[in-house]
Amino acid sequence: MAPATLLLARLAVACALALGAMAQLSPTFYDASCPSLQAIVRAGMAAAVQQEPRMGASILRLFFHDCFVQGCDASVLLDDSPTLTGEKNAGPNANSLRGFEVIDSIKSQVEAACPGTVSCADILALAARDGVNLLSGPTWAVQLGRRDTRTASQSAANSNLPSPSSSAAALVSAFASKGLDSRDLVALSGAHTIGAARCATFRSRVYNDTNISAGFAAKRRQICQAQAGASDGNLAPLDAMSSVRFDNGYFRNLVAQFGLLHSDQELFGAGGGAVDSITAQYARNGAAFSRDFVTAVLKMGSIGPLTGSSGEIRANCRKPN
């Protein structure tokens, strides 16, 4: 074969392999092997969200922190053990991630119905979707067929998850390194329309930033002392208007300088360029946000999955088999 033809042939094989990895995920993956899966996850999430609406937010965040570290492989769910250092004690996760018991409970019901069949990574992807939808957000067909990793990476959790002190440029580059563009970044950040943050993560914003509504900053300072200490764990809603409703309130806040995290406000009026106009669009048009969130969360859910014979189907989401 001529060198150019050989190169083309190699490129074609590489493309087919890449597409093959994506094509292995499918919304119908468990239709035959575990027909009750989606109903079990939905019922588990409905009970959890009814008991505590914030749980919808906590599970969505777990999914994000899973996918950004080694891909969506349930690495975030692994406990530390004498032979494994998990991700739960990484900086962005420690004293912060929650909802592990909800996933455990859903997993044990799925195991009872379909033993050894459904990965923890797929259960998390479905549970995140249901959490959003149960808080009045959109729904979507979840791509399935991920398998669970046998390893975790605390160092990748520390370096790949963006910090709340990030600039717009740092956020754009953290998302770009996962194959997500600026529109995905802004749409996915709209997840902060639900849930809460601790004073430790917004202290510097409410004491030091100048692009913040003065009244809003004063109100948040009341529950968040200037010095680190007893108030570190005090919570404030990420969306001051409606933290248990998945709507475009987060973006309307940003336009009014009500962003709770420094990184949130970087998406509007901080010289971020392209991100500003996307934020303004979502603030005006909730349907555009909803549509783009679905596109972006599907992209996030397809980051680096283990498929085929890689990884395993964990029996217990907290430890490798």
Determine whether 65 is an active site residue: yes
Q: What is the DSSP string of 18-33?
A: HHHHHHT-BTTTTTTT
Tokens linked to 73: 């492989």
- Cβ contacts of residue 163 below 8 Å, gap of 6+? 92, 263
Q: Which of 42, 178, 183, 198 binds ligand HEM (CB under 6 A)?
A: 198
Q: Per rule CB under 6 A, is residue 282 in the interface with ligand HEM?
A: no
Piece of the chain touching ligand HEM by CB under 6 A; list 23-31, 71-79, 156-164, 268-276: 156-164
Instruction: Output the CA angle 172-173-176, nearest 5 degrees.
Output: 85
Q: Per rule CB under 6 A, is residue 318 in the interface with ligand HEM?
A: no
Closer residue to ligand HEM in complex, CB, 193/257: 193
Tokens linked to 140: 């979507």
Helix/strand/coil for 237: strand
Residue number, nearest CB to ligand HEM: 195
Closer residue to ligand HEM in complex, CB, 86/259: 259
Q: Per rule CB under 6 A, is residue 191 in the interface with ligand HEM?
A: yes
Interatomic CA distance for residues 301 and 168, integer angstroms: 23
Cα within 13 Å of Cα(233), Cβ side: 5
Q: Per rule CB under 6 A, is residue 236 in the interface with ligand HEM?
A: no
Q: How far is CA 318 from CA 38, 45, 64, 103, 145, in A?
A: 21, 19, 18, 10, 19
66 is in an annotated binding site: yes
Piece of the chain touching ligand HEM by CB under 6 A; list 23-31, 38-46, 58-66, 148-156: 58-66
Compose the 62-101 pattern: x for residues touching ligand HEM by CB under 6 A, - for all others.
--x-------------------------------x-x---
Q: Per rule CB under 6 A, is residue 58 in the interface with ligand HEM?
A: yes
If phi > 0 it is left, if psi is from -120 to 50 it is alpha, else beta; for residue 106 that is alpha
- Cβ contacts of residue 198 below 8 Å, gap of 6+? 95, 96, 232, 233, 234, 235
Q: Which of 30, 45, 54, 74 binds ligand HEM (CB under 6 A)?
A: 54
Closer residue to ligand HEM in complex, CB, 25/57: 57
Tokens linked to 149: 């990793």
Residues belonging to the binding site for Ca(2+) are: 66, 69, 71, 73, 75, 87, 193, 239, 247
Residues belonging to the binding site are: 66, 69, 71, 73, 75, 87, 162, 192-193, 239, 247
Any idea which residues carry the catalytic annotation? 65
Residues that bind ligand HEM (CB under 6 A): 54, 57-58, 60-61, 64, 96, 98, 162-164, 166, 171, 188-189, 191-192, 194-198, 201, 238, 261, 263
